[in-house]
Amino acid sequence: MAGPDAELAQTLRAALAQTCNPETVDDLLAAHSNHLSRHGDFSRWQNHLAGLPPVHRDWHIDGGTLVAGRRVGKAEALIEHLRSFIPWRKGPLRLAGVNIDTEWRSDWKWDRISPHLDLTAKRVLDVGAGNGYFGWRMLDQGAEAVIGCDPTPLFVIQHAVIRHFAGPAANHLLAQRLEDLPQTLADFDAVFSMGVLYHRRRPIDHLTDLRKRLKQGGTLILETLVAPGDAAQLLPTPDRYAGMRNVHGLPTVALLHQWLEQSGFSTVRCVDRTATTIEEQRSTDWMPYHSLAQALDPARPGWTVEGLPAPARTVWLARSVSPPDSAC
C-alpha cells in the first residue's frame, strides 16, 4: 500500500482504534482497495492522482466552499488533472485555488441540516457520502471523526484528490456499500444517510441497518425525497424518476414516519421540507451532463418529464432506541 492508501490506512486505524480490532480495519481497507482496483478507469485515475502537484496541505470552509491546499504555480496543468475526474457533483470546492463549480450546491443542503445538530466531539458515519464534501462540513462543526462509505469508485477517488490538498484529516471514505460493511463497525454517535433511501429496494432494511450502526440514544440524520400527500402512501416510480434510474418509490411524510418507528427509532422529527430547484442542482462546466432542468417538464411546472411530482426533499432526526445487535 502506498501514497493516499497508506495515509488512509494510518488515519483510519487511529479513528477506529477505540472501537474496532486491527483485523477489522485491515479487512475494511482490503475490501476498499479491491473494490476500487476492479474499476476500468482505476489506472487512469491513479496516474492523474500521481500527477497532482505537491502543495501546502490545509483546509477550511469559506462561506460553504471547501477550500483545500494553497495555490501552486500555473493552474493549467492542475486544471487538466482535476478535469479528468469529471463529473464533480458535490461541493462547492476550491482546490489549490481552482474553483470547482459542482452540480450541487451541497452547502444549501447543509444549511438546512446543520442548525439542528450538535456534532461536537461526535463519531460520525456518513452513508452514501459521495466525494465526502459533507464530512468536511461535519469536521468543521466539531465532529471528532467521520467515516464515510460509498460504492461509486469515482466519488471515492475524488475524495482522495481532495485529501491530496486538504491533508490527512479525520474525514475517511471507504469504497463500500453500507450493507457490505462489517456489523462490528457500529457504536457511532451520529449516522447520516442523505440521498440514499429512495435508491434502496428495501427501505426498512436500510433504516434498520442505519439504526444498528448507532450507539444507544445516538442520532440518525436522514435526508430523502418524499411524495406529496397526507396519507401514508408510496408513490410508485416504475421507470425513471426525474431522470434517475433505480428509484424504488417515494413515501409520503406519514409513511416515512411509520417506517422510521418500525425500524426502531424514537423521537422522530421531520425538520425540513424543501423543493429542489434548478439553482441548487444544475449542469456546470465541471458536471457538463443533464441535470434537474432537463428532468422537469417545461410545459407543467412542478412535474417531472415522467409525469410525476417534482423532487421535494425532507430532513429527519430520530433516535436509536433498540440496543445494537453487536459491537466491536
Ligand X SMILES: C[S@@+](CC[C@H](N)C(=O)[O-])C[C@H]1O[C@@H](n2cnc3c(N)ncnc32)[C@H](O)[C@@H]1O
- For ligand X, which residue of 25, 95, 125, 127 counts as binding (CB under 6 A)? 127
- For ligand X, which residue of 32, 35, 81, 90 counts as binding (CB under 6 A)? 90
Q: Grid coordinates in use for 314?
A: 425532507
- For ligand X, which residue of 19, 99, 152, 274 counts as binding (CB under 6 A)? 152
E-strand ranges in the chain read 59-62, 65-68, 90-91, 93-95, 98-100, 104-105, 123-127, 145-149, 171-174, 188-194, 214-225, 234-235, 250-251, 265-275, 312-320
Beta carbon of residue 130, minimum distance to ligand X (angstroms, whole number)? 4
Q: Name the residue whose CB lies closest to ligand X.
A: 128
Does the annotation list 104 as a binding residue? yes
- Binding to ligand X in span 33-62, by CB under 6 A: none
Q: Grid coordinates in use for 125?
A: 458515519
Locate all alpha helices (DSSP H) within 132-284, ordered by sequence. Answer: 133-140, 153-166, 203-212, 253-262
Beta carbon of residue 231, minimum distance to ligand X (angstroms, whole number)? 26
Buried b (16+ CB within 10 A) or exposed e, 134-166: bbbbbbbbebebbbbbbebbbbbbbbbbbbbbb
- C-beta separation of 283 from 289 below 8 A: yes
- For ligand X, which residue of 155, 188, 241, 286 counts as binding (CB under 6 A)? 155
Does 87 interact with ligand X (rule: CB under 6 A)? no
Nearer to ligand X, 59 or 104 (CB): 104
- Among the listed ranges 38-46, 65-73, 76-84, 128-136, the one in contact with ligand X (CB under 6 A) is 128-136
Q: Grid coordinates in use for 1?
A: 500500500
Nearer to ligand X, 11 or 106 (CB): 106
Which residues have CB under 8 Å from 30's CB, separation 6+? none
- Among the listed ranges 25-33, 59-67, 69-77, 172-180, the one in contact with ligand X (CB under 6 A) is 172-180
Nearer to ligand X, 110 or 265 (CB): 110
- Interacting residues with ligand X (CB under 6 A): 90, 106, 127-130, 149-152, 155, 177-179, 194-196, 199, 223
